Amino acid sequence: MMPRTLQAELLDTLSPEHPDALHNRRDLRLTNRLMGNHRWMTRVIRHLRRPPEPVLELGAGTGELCQRLLRHSITTAGLDLWPCPPDWPAAHRWHQADLLNFTDWPLYPIVIGNLIFHQFSEEQLARLGDQLRSNARVIVACEPARRRVSQWLYRGLGPLFGANHVSLHDAHVSIAAGFQNNELPRLLGLNPAEWDCDCSTTLLGAYHMIARRRL
């Protein structure tokens, strides 16, 4: 089994407006589109949400997934270290903060993350899990499935669609930090007696987790 390893991502060393960061965001948009990450997340949230419950996206980045949910009339807020995107709608909240020090968890019964949980160590995921277990009703994650074939495929195919050196490096380390089987709910401390957790992987290399609190 491929062990889970964490390495620094190059994107974390760049300012949001650095040309390499802008190119990386273009590559991420294409990756999300090809893998269907945002489409899958939207379907799941539309099914599980109880209106008017608000949704919080961790690591919201440029806000594209949030705005997709808003177009479906799903009240959504973003949480990221980066500042609010310039086109972010004023009527909705954007939290510029470190999620490990975030304090407004009680406002959000549904928490989602697209390609964010893999960036954290086991200790950090345990800390995050403490907050999620105390406040969330639903947790949905779309992450890299940890498998070597995905690293090989991205290394070979990435240059064909113009991926830059940041994207090629960060994809490799992101996959190495991804998840298999029931790892993510276990690392978040989601007790099976209290949470129903469904984990699966796709042919294109996505790891999906849907966790629902048992009421």
Give pLDDT tens digits for 143-161.
999 999 999 999 999 999 8
Asked whether the predicted pLDDT for residue 16 surpasses 90, the reply is: no
Torsion of CA 143, 118, 101, 107, to 10 degrees: 10
pTM (global) more than 0.85: yes
**What is the structure's pLDDT at 189?**
98
Do residues 129 and 105 make contact, with C-beta atoms less than 8 angstroms apart? no
* 57 pLDDT above the threshold of 80: yes
| Reported confidence tier of residue 215, pLDDT bands at 50, 70, 90 | confident
Query: Is residue 52 within 8 Å of residue 108, measured between CB atoms?
Result: no
Phi, psi (rounded to 5 degrees) for 6: -110, 130
Mean per-residue pLDDT over the chain, rounded: 96
d(CA 176, CA 144): 8
Give the span between the Cα atoms of 58 and 71, in whole angstroms: 19
Per the omega criterion (within 30 degrees of 0), is the bond before 52 cis?
Answer: yes
Q: How far apart are the first and last CA of the chain?
A: 35
Q: Residue 23: which of 170, 180, 154, 157 has the closest Cα?
A: 170
Mean pLDDT of 90-117: 96
